[in-house]
Structure 1
Amino acid sequence: MNSLLDRALKYRTSRRGFLGLTAAGVATAALVGEQLVPAWPERRQASAETEGKWVTAACWHNCGGRCLNKALVKDGMVIRQKTDDTHPDSPDYPQQRACARGRSQRQQVLGADRLKYPMKRKHWEPGGGNKELRGRDEWVRISWDEALDIVASEIKRIKEKYGNESIMAFGSEIGRTLSLYGGYVSVWGSTSYGTWLETGPRIGLSSGNHVNDRMDMRKTQLLILWGANPAWSSAGLPTYNYLQVKKAGARVITIDPLFNETARVLADEWIPIRPGTDHALALGLAHTLLVEDDPETNPLIDWDFLHRCTVGFDKDHMPPGADPKENFKDYLLGTYDGQPKDAEWASEICGVKADRIRQLAREIGGTERVSLLVSWAPARGNNLDSWPQALMALGAMSGHMGRPGSMTGVCTHSGASNNGPSLVRAGGNGLPNIANPVKLRLNHNEHWTAVLEGKYMAGKGPGVTEPVNIQMIYHAGSSALNQKPGLVRGVAAHRKVEFVVAHHYALNTSAKYADVVLPITTEWERAGTLLSGNREILIWAQHVIDPLFEAKSDMWIAVELAKRLGLNAEEVCPISEEQQLFNRLAGAQVLKEDGKTWEKLLTITAEDIAEMGVEGEPQTGRITLAEFREKGIYQVPRRPGDNYEYVHLAEFRQDPEKHPLNTTSGKLEIYCQAIADHVRNCGWSEISPIPKYNRPTEGYEDTFADWEKKIKGDYPLQLYTIHYPRRSHSVFDNVPWLREAFPQEFIMNPVDAEARGIKDGDIVKISSRHGTVIRPVYLTERIMPGVVTLGEGAWADIDDETGIDKAGATNTLNGAIPTGQGHAGWNTCNVQVERYDGPLPPDHTWPQRVIF
């Protein structure tokens, strides 16, 4: 590291580089940290030629944006960053501009808290030693040989004593080694998608995005953003694309518990709604369409589309063998259960006034071109398996599917505002798959409980459990402890098993509770990769700097462990990282202007192949490899009316018999026995084949001790968790710039605060049935009364004496509650809030987790 130190000392340091550092950490910070990213205002006019070389750097985090991020490298160090300036910006051909997270990435990669060396717990010994010290023990620096020997020895010992089904692993590369060594227990369940993961494909949509592209969306007249806030969650182009829809004349309505940042830019109207009650609102809207529709004087329902393209709406359009009484129309009318799902019924649950529900239904049904767009967020709740089906039924009734400017469905993540097949795509890396021979999988709502209680739901029907004995937890490039539900139980599970190992570049929550921690490289320190943030771009994220300290790649670790386990390392990784990159480059394709045929993206010469030191054949493509390396991005030019426009379900709508969907009936299934059977077989709960309202677990109704008498209970407020600009999930939470710019504040309505004697800026204690956190409170009327929110992803910091998490990790509050198809229920959680009298300094002033 002497050369790195020499280079670092050439540069002036920034004041902010030392924020949050302890006196013990300052010496380390001089080696690697934010202070290596100087401000230098007097030098900002200097040219890149004199300061260094701009290199396209990976912004590899899972926000959905994946924008263009460039690093200025001089003497092997990153001294500045910028974003897309490869072409003039315009609505049709926009620049791929990075957000605050991407622009702060120097502090992530070059942070003072980068893990430098392999290390183990001071009081660890084979079998665990004092396992209660996990999370608070001292760390001891060890060599790579010792670290790998320990990990390999524990894998062997635990396999021999308990079998492969005692090893639970998170991560991809290490899974290759463990699979060759007999396998491991994997984890399943929907995290981002919520109930869309399994419901979507079975009812005729998909788990991902299923709406039209950005050019077609400009034709819409009414844009409804339901539970979506891309300005924070997918910060890049989505909000800008929606702005073009608004400028083209669309009226914009947002439906959300919070008047969020996207609404502040776009909304003509905000409709507040209680978390987990979107299903009730959809049913109230559908009921209004049904009872107010008159084909002659007030046409609100597209009966042609409904009858041709769906099954299950009424008794005359049921699938074979289904009970004709179990149709959606009679359920809406309350024909058999005596309860019409009218606007008054829906209003009592969701909090939207009945008159506004009726008016919104008239707007949806009476407007020719509507974009009814939802994020995955409303589906991330306990017992909400029928919600996607209810939304689909609403879109089918109003006919807003398969037509230009008219669409219904998920529009989020990398497809937010711009869905459709990719126009440019990378090739495969050529790395062969390795099957995991262990078939036992644990749902992420029960894996910590399975560790603690020794049993899990077997997926063989209601109540059927089987024994399990997890004795090793392997975190490889993940943040599972922090990011899966039930963090408090997760900590207990980590203190029960015999061995825990983690790979990471900093001491995140999973690493903090491990026995052995292996420092890994970031994408900036690897050979490079190809990334895509939307259908129109391909980014070549390149090697930026050499690995810092003793950091190694996850694949290197997997290979070295394979050797110690007596495996053939060539089977784990038969292809070098450089060759994998070349394979992806050589296989990259771009769609021609006809919108039908593909061509090679890159011209690659024999000289290019020799320079990269890989094997391959020269080829001819649209642009040269050198041009792609220089720009770092290829973006397909767009214009209105081009052959790249995409209308989802257009062919199906035109001829459902000739273009059937991949469902049992080949149509959109308002009655779907397949999803009802799947939910039942998971074993936790049951749903109807039609989208009946299911009361969420820890939803609005559970804020009452007595729902009928409206007597509030011990946890009277609804907490839902949001994506926050400080982080992409848990990534970036350790970055001082972002901590200072975006405090981890608890958001609350003044009405609820006044009833509790709470003032803006107070420290409050938030308690659920599962855990407790403390946070400063931000009071605003932008959130509806009775609802509170907190940004997900903060790195937990739990006091073992009090059990209080001062960092405000939302999974400390969220319980692991398995329901339905095993999705995570982060947006249905009940809490109580009270003023906290203890101190809590701003977290950007906290000491960083600097080790050695």
Structure 2
Amino acid sequence: MSERQKIALSRRSFIAWTSAASVMATLPLSKQLYAATPEEEKAVVQATDAVTQGKWKPVACWHNCGGRCVNKALVVDGVVVRQKTDDVVADSPDFPQQRGCLRGRSQRKQVFGADRLKYPMKRKGWAPGGGDKSLRGRDQWVRISWDEALDIVASESKRIKEKYGQESIWITGGNGVEIQSVYAKAGGFVGDWGTTSWGAWFETPAHLGLLEGFYTFGTNDRFDMRNSQLIVMWGANPAWSSPGSPTYNYYQAKKAGARFISIDPSYTTTAELMDADWYPINPGTDHALALGIMYALLEMDSPDSPLIDWDFLRRCTVGFDESNMPAGADPKGNFKDYLLGTYTGEPKTPEWASNICGLSASDIRTLAREIGGTNRVALLTGWAPARIHNGEGWVQAFSTLGFMTGHMGRPGRMTGVSCHFAAGNNGTRLVMAGASGLPSVPNPVSLKINHNELNRALLEKKFRQRGVGDVDANIQMIIHPFNATLQTRANISQSVEAYRKDIELVVTAAYVPHTCAKYSDIVLPVTTEWEREGTILNPSNREVIIAAVNVTPPLYEAKSDQWIAKEIGKRLGINVDEVFPISEKQQFFNKLNGATIIGEDGKTTEPLITITQADIDEWQVTGKPQQGRITLNEFLTVGKYQVERSSDDNYGYIAYEDFIRDPQANPRPTPSGKFEIYCQTLVEKADECGWTKLPPIPEYIPSASGYEASFSDFSKKEKGDYPFQIYNPHYLRRSHSTLDNVPWLREQWPSPIYINASDAKRLGIKHGETVLITSPQGKIVRPALVTQTMKPGVVALPHGSWTNVDEKTGIDMAGADNTLTIQVPTGLGTSGWNTMLCNIEKWHGDQLVPDAAIPQRIIF
């Protein structure tokens, strides 16, 4: 019996097992079920009966989950008394409702939470120059006025700039945030960059000629997914990572007859829903498995039983074998000979791959037969397998597997990323919001720090600038606008050490006291989207555009990010009207006025919203009347516009269809005009970054802190000091770290550490007991969820808990994943959150307080 057969759970055996044991311990990476008490049920009925008036308003669920679902609030006398989701149309597979998840439905507990930041604050121990910097994160707060807060930020900006130079101010996050535009106008600032959620899918695909990344579309749409006979979910769990309609779209493919395979360290919720065959893999070894599958394809391919699409390889790729190498490349550097070990002496056989990935050689050959021998296959991956050090080769290997089998550009056949807003329904957008109308303000400072070198820049005062080499850094001021950089970058403990060292001022603008705010000197309370003019939520899935309107006036003394940026800009002496020439209301109107829809011919673009002169006059804005599909009032009342689809409309999308039909007439944007299995550009881009080398073909490079590093002697399979691999699934309690403070979500999703039952038994750990998890970077404690649905030797820690360090022990009592991670720059700057190691042992300290019982961080 294979390893997969020993571990995998069929639906029938799964249900039988859960009937005999604890439901919590066996749900697929799930949670303890919560049942309402009779008193709670009675209170709900009474509250429902009491609501006889009010107005339903479409409201924002604006966080970075990728769902972009319909969310509505019932407002009575300015108070939100209830929420609901999409009920505009009768739900159907072809025209589905855009239903929200529990996070969106708990949104009012965030907007109106007791822990809202209410007033501008100053750290008690702060003084110009930094004061006692060691007290950041543990000092008391002093309430101050807006004028004092803004004056401090502006005057310190001027002083620090004059003393240390323009490159001493670091504003975290991507370009385009309001405060960044102001500082760009005022002379510039140091930025940062990284691969964040995408991992190696951030940059690698473009060099290979692929349509991947965030706003590109490398897989087919939901109607074509129903044509697939086999769907391979490789590190993809949309039921958790892409809530909304994606999992529903997957299910329609299942109903149409598709079989599912899940390649994942855990038996996920999506795998259980699709009754998928589970192939449990060691995290970060997907590349090795792909190589083993491709070797098996070569091994088993024959004219009578073809598994490889040789025509596809010949016409659409370069670099597979010595006969189709790009000009100037060494023929011996081809990929086929690498697989066969012709020149290295190490063929990438299924047996070789098995030693790394944890699947048996038999299962690897089974996967090869399934993928190569099935006519219409969808190879769909999430970003998670590429969030590893040295992950660029995985992207290249996964794509090459699609090239070899020809599963691209044809009905029911696709290879690429299926996650976030495009999960289960990719393709060019059919409906889209207009631009705000604000000008782009270029940053005159070119320095940008890669996320894997942030701590080095702060502690060692050097970092590697892409295309330049090592440069000096002297960051003395940090501004956190609308992001959670300190919480969501690797190695928080080292980051806190850096924040408490030399930096003279840390400023955060936020609406709740998250980690960035906690370790700041000045905190500026900002409004949520519910307190602003309104917005259109982009991006969402290709068929839907979602509106949100104002729900309540600004709470307490909170101000919008734009108001704050303007006031700081005035104090810095810039002309803020050049940065913000129009009002926030006009910006919202511009998005509405510029919204477009693709016509029924699938080609032409039309205005979406009908706007009359009366609308323009009522809004007191500038604009032009236009005729669209839906009136302005109806759109802002309903809260969405959804394109009605059918299987025979002109909106269908098959990625790369034109190229694969005629590569000569529709070349890819690569030097060869084809998909590049051999990619010299990757070599050059890695050299430009200057951290580690990348080969032109997808050679296997073990990840730093990956599976091989868990052994003191890999050849003898003797485990080292950190024997477990640990990875970070996205979790329905949070969107990254956002919403982690909401009591409802803390109660429903307790954020445990998931551990296999055999590992737990060996360590004497019982279900629900507190355990200590240690990595070379830090220590955390978590309750153990003992389950059969994790691969032995692997544990899963949900991503995004707000760090809460016991200052006496240095242990993170909240279990933040980035307390354990490490900043290691490799390749094209990919962050390796899913390649880390840990040890687990029973906790012998004080009893861990459940997350739901931890008091909120209420300040004033």
Q: Shared fold by TM > 0.5?
A: yes
Which residue of the other structure, out of 174, 182, 191, is the alignment partner of 2:187? 182
Which residue of the other structure, out of 48, 64, 70, is the alignment partner of 1:44? 48
1:737 corresponds to which letter in structure 2?
W
User: What CA deviation, in whole Å up to 9, does each residue of 1:26-60 have, x standing for no partner?
Assistant: xxxxxxxxxxx99552242466xx42100000010
Secondary structure of 2:819 counterpart? helix
Is 1:226–2:231 an aligned residue pair? no
> Aligned-pair distance for 1:610?
1.4
> Aligned-pair distance for 1:148?
0.4
CA distance in 2, matches of 1:331, 1:713: 31
Aligned to 2:310: 303
Secondary structure of 2:857 counterpart? coil
> Aligned-pair distance for 1:616?
1.1
Aligned to 1:150: 152
User: What CA deviation, in whole Å up to 9, does each residue of 1:711-766 have, x standing for no partner?
Assistant: 21110100011100000000100000000000010100122122222111111110
CA distance in 1, matches of 2:265, 2:346: 26
Aligned to 1:530: 536
Secondary structure of 2:392 counterpart? coil
CA distance in 2, matches of 1:704, 1:324: 36
1:534 corresponds to which letter in structure 2?
N
Is 1:467–2:472 an aligned residue pair? yes
1:481 corresponds to which letter in structure 2?
L
Taking structure 1 as reference, are residues 801 and 374 closer, same or farther at Cα in structure 2, changes over 3 Å only?
Answer: same
Which residue of the other structure, out of 549, 565, 590, is the alignment partner of 2:597? 590
User: What CA deviation, in whole Å up to 9, does each residue of 1:158-195 have, x standing for no partner?
Assistant: 10000111111025111011101111000011011101
Checking the alignment, whether the CA contact within 8 Å between 1:427 and 1:588 is kept in structure 2 is: yes
Is 1:613–2:620 an aligned residue pair? yes
Which residue of the other structure, out of 513, 519, 525, is the alignment partner of 2:525? 519
Secondary structure of 2:299 counterpart? helix
CA distance in 1, matches of 2:403, 2:644: 33
CA distance in 2, matches of 1:711, 1:182: 56
CA distance in 2, matches of 1:680, 1:428: 37
Q: Pairwise mapping of residues 280-299 of structure 1 onto structure 2 (< 5 A)?
A: 280-295=288-303, 297-299=304-306
Task: Count residues with an aligned counterpart.
Answer: 811
Q: Pairwise mapping of residues 368-379 of structure 1 onto structure 2 (< 5 A)?
A: 368-379=375-386
CA distance in 2, matches of 1:233, 1:775: 22
> Aligned-pair distance for 1:573?
1.1
CA distance in 1, matches of 2:275, 2:413: 19
> Aligned-pair distance for 1:662?
1.1
CA distance in 1, matches of 2:192, 2:814: 26
Aligned to 1:761: 768
2:495 corresponds to which letter in structure 1?
G
User: What CA deviation, in whole Å up to 9, does each residue of 1:359-392 have, x standing for no partner?
Assistant: 1101111111000000111000011211111011
Checking the alignment, whether the CA contact within 8 Å between 1:198 and 1:675 is kept in structure 2 is: no
> Aligned-pair distance for 1:204?
1.2
Secondary structure of 2:415 counterpart? strand
Aligned to 1:567: 574
Aligned to 1:822: 829
1:167 corresponds to which letter in structure 2?
I
- Unmatched 5+ stretches in structure 2: 1-40
Runs of 4+ in 1 over 3 A off after TM superposition: 37-40
Aligned to 1:664: 671
Is 1:173–2:178 an aligned residue pair? yes
Checking the alignment, whether the CA contact within 8 Å between 1:194 and 1:379 is kept in structure 2 is: yes
1:41 corresponds to which letter in structure 2?
V
Aligned to 2:777: 770
Q: RMSD of the TM alignment (CA)?
A: 1.2
Is 1:506–2:512 an aligned residue pair? yes
CA distance in 2, matches of 1:39, 1:573: 48
Is 1:194–2:163 an aligned residue pair? no
Checking the alignment, whether the CA contact within 8 Å between 1:473 and 1:494 is kept in structure 2 is: no
Checking the alignment, whether the CA contact within 8 Å between 1:254 and 1:267 is kept in structure 2 is: no
Taking structure 1 as reference, are residues 80 and 39 closer, same or farther at Cα in structure 2, changes over 3 Å only?
Answer: farther
Aligned to 2:163: 161
Is 1:632–2:634 an aligned residue pair? no
Secondary structure of 1:449 counterpart? helix
Secondary structure of 2:763 counterpart? coil
Which residue of the other structure, out of 390, 408, 414, is the alignment partner of 1:401? 408
Which residue of the other structure, out of 109, 127, 132, is the alignment partner of 2:111? 109
> Aligned-pair distance for 1:458?
2.5
Secondary structure of 1:530 counterpart? strand
> Aligned-pair distance for 1:459?
2.4
2:852 corresponds to which letter in structure 1?
H
Checking the alignment, whether the CA contact within 8 Å between 1:392 and 1:409 is kept in structure 2 is: yes
Deviates more, 1:571-580 or 1:313-322: 571-580
User: What CA deviation, in whole Å up to 9, does each residue of 1:531-575 have, x standing for no partner?
Assistant: 142000001111111110000011100000011111112122111
Is 1:493–2:498 an aligned residue pair? yes
> Aligned-pair distance for 1:283?
0.4
Checking the alignment, whether the CA contact within 8 Å between 1:449 and 1:489 is kept in structure 2 is: no
Checking the alignment, whether the CA contact within 8 Å between 1:393 and 1:670 is kept in structure 2 is: yes
CA distance in 2, matches of 1:668, 1:38: 61
Checking the alignment, whether the CA contact within 8 Å between 2:438 and 2:579 is kept in structure 1 is: no
> Aligned-pair distance for 1:340?
0.9
Secondary structure of 2:354 counterpart? helix
Which residue of the other structure, out of 91, 94, 100, is the alignment partner of 1:92? 94
Aligned to 1:264: 272
Aligned to 1:14: none
User: What CA deviation, in whole Å up to 9, does each residue of 1:662-682 have, x standing for no partner?
Assistant: 111110000000012111221
Q: Pairwise mapping of residues 49-88 of structure 1 onto structure 2 (< 5 A)?
A: 50-88=52-90
TM (norm. structure 1) is 0.94
2:531 corresponds to which letter in structure 1?
E
Which residue of the other structure, out of 483, 491, 498, is the alignment partner of 2:488? 483
Checking the alignment, whether the CA contact within 8 Å between 1:38 and 1:79 is kept in structure 2 is: no
Taking structure 1 as reference, are residues 217 and 40 closer, same or farther at Cα in structure 2, changes over 3 Å only?
Answer: closer
2:510 corresponds to which letter in structure 1?
H
Secondary structure of 2:644 counterpart? coil
Which residue of the other structure, out of 430, 434, 437, is the alignment partner of 2:437? 430
User: What CA deviation, in whole Å up to 9, does each residue of 1:635-676 have, x standing for no partner?
Assistant: 000111211110000000000110011111110000000012
CA distance in 2, matches of 1:272, 1:221: 22
Secondary structure of 1:225 counterpart? strand
TM (norm. structure 2) is 0.93
Secondary structure of 1:638 counterpart? coil
Deviates more, 1:168-177 or 1:131-140: 168-177
Checking the alignment, whether the CA contact within 8 Å between 2:407 and 2:415 is kept in structure 1 is: yes
Which residue of the other structure, out of 261, 267, 270, is the alignment partner of 1:253? 261
CA distance in 1, matches of 2:747, 2:757: 24
1:469 corresponds to which letter in structure 2?
N
CA distance in 2, matches of 1:284, 1:345: 7
User: What CA deviation, in whole Å up to 9, does each residue of 1:621-640 have, x standing for no partner?
Assistant: 11111111111100000111
User: What CA deviation, in whole Å up to 9, does each residue of 1:192-251 have, x standing for no partner?
Assistant: 110111111100112244100000110000011110111111111111100000000001
Aligned to 1:721: 728
Q: Pairwise mapping of residues 307-456 of structure 1 onto structure 2 (< 5 A)?
A: 307-456=314-463
- Unmatched 5+ stretches in structure 1: 1-36
Secondary structure of 1:804 counterpart? coil
> Aligned-pair distance for 1:260?
0.9
CA distance in 2, matches of 1:82, 1:176: 36
Secondary structure of 1:158 counterpart? helix
Deviates more, 1:574-583 or 1:749-758: 749-758
Checking the alignment, whether the CA contact within 8 Å between 1:562 and 1:572 is kept in structure 2 is: no
CA distance in 1, matches of 2:242, 2:396: 25
Aligned to 2:24: none
CA distance in 2, matches of 1:330, 1:444: 36
